Structure 1
Amino acid sequence: MHDELEARRVCYATSLGAQLSGDSLEMLARIPANSVDLFITSPPFPLLRKKAYGNEDQQNYVAWLNEFAKLAKDALKPTGSFVIDIGGAYQKGVPVRSLHQFRALISFVDDLNYYLVQEFYWYNPSSLPAPIEWVNKRKIRAKNSVNTVWWLSKTEYPKADVSRVRVPYSKSMQRLLADPARYYTPKDRPSEHKIGKAFGRDNGGALPSNLLTIPNSQSNDSYLRAVKSLGLSSHPARFPLKLPEFFIQMCTEPGDLVVDFFGGSNTTGRAAENLGRRWISCELDHEYAAQSVVRFMPAANMGEVRASIEGIVAGKSLRL
């Protein structure tokens, strides 16, 4: 895969993947057709104030995002998945919401012929009260704690196995499994849905819902600790490791290819590496791309980490 992407700058590479720096549209155009098992990404949101990571204007957002989604569809395998996390935003100057994430979804389906496999919602219980004007100052809106995550594909039946992402049983379910006869009697529900004895069988965990509760309060995680110790500015818009892990486990198998074309601090690459998947991450900002190498280097030798980042920023390619 690296040969097809020789025009991209490889910041660093492992035995499974590579962090690239440059324009993701150019990178996507060079990925062979029908080669990617999973695209998972979180694009810059169309916020009202410009951010350091390059968010797009609200009016142009859907057309801009469609350029990436179209190329991703061409590169996606027939049974592959395209998962995109898009947060919400307010319209300029008024406490009413933008519909950009919903307009993007409709355009993906109507204009690009994706299928919406399932909608997910990422609930971040540690989200801060924002925006300040409507939540903190005037107190006329509740804080935003949920992002929309669209799971799309080229087919009605993309590769997936939800049993790979089972979640721990509740305490009540644990008691039932320990003594089914005491806590559970098979019967019909009012809906006439029959619940048999198999309900009391231990399957290693419960099937997850499409509401993903994942705190994003990792203010002291290894990436932030390393970047802070080096006196560098961390990427301001990171999603938690467990979010890409969930979809990588559900939609791919070891050795499959996972791609993130808005790489940021390369959370996706780290998750894919942990799970034995091949990966490609591309980030437009060269310094952010270089700094993400801290996710793949031992923190014991920060001098070596600093030298590696400085070398990448200067144009070198690092083999890990």
Structure 2
Amino acid sequence: MDTQPPTFSVVAPVYNEEQLIAEFCRRVIAALEPLGEPFELILVNDGCRDRSPDIMRELHQRDPRIKVINFSRNFGHQIAITAGTDYATGRAVIVIDSDLQDPPEVIPDLIARWREGYQVVYGVREERQGETWFKKTTAAIFYRLIVRITNVNIPVDTGDFRLMDRKVVDALKRMREHHRFMRGLSAWVGFRQTGVLYRRHARAAGTTKYPLRKMLRFALDGITSFSYLPLQLATYVGFIVAAISIIFLFVVFVMRLSNPAATEPAFYGQASTLASVLFLGAVQLISLGIIGEYVGRIYDEVKGRPLYIVAETLGIDETAATSAGNMRTTHKEQSPVIE
């Protein structure tokens, strides 16, 4: 077994990918071996419910460069990326999904730009194969919206597929917020950044792990992590409603003076009053909901719970395990607890 420290660490979250995980590892290794430098492939088992954990164990036994982190349960895609980067020891860390939509063959292109001096090299999707019109449209709107409402230059049409220099990874390891938007955090830290164009492929097997509900939650995490605009919008709407109310009262007052005999015009009736009350109530509830989203995130942070719990690691260096020790159940390997 090669004890030379890895130059590259590839981090891949895995959730129910039994049909693809072996092929994914084969293609990653095939992309990296011609470079002639040591590397490691870290698979993060995010609470898989299929045969993925058994397959990953077999892959590790056949090739020690394939290392495995088993979570005690499902903690989510962004947390799995965080755990992988916590344990990665390479000078450069490449994050890629294990569903083969992001082709591993692009990794050498990312590395080439890193050798030119760039410290974050992200993949830019020039084409998204196998995705619906709805998903493509909403993704395009989201990326352009978040650029406009935040002061962080988050590249558009990008995902989590990227290479990060060790300095960037060390900076990210100091950020422990629970509602994580990793592509935003990697932009926030700064450093020299550039993109590499590639074509995102359709899924070869399995189903998407990001249905509409998770996509909406992910978008909300991204917006609330980097922008106060929703809170400011609640204030703006309050001022607008107040202004409309004052104008309405002024109109009613003028019409009363101009036609005092009209005791009950149509807009003085109960219908207009009920509509006004319902409108104001809706504005108040929406504003409270926005505030509640931010308060809920504060509550999650002050509880101080770890981002994840590791049940077992396979092939992970003890130095890396010790550096992430506050997130492990133990420094020794033990039986996995997969829910």
Query: Shared topology, TM-score over 0.5?
Result: no
Higher Cα radius of gyration: 2
Structure with greater helix share of residues: 2
Give the TM-score of the pair, scaled to structure 1.
Answer: 0.30
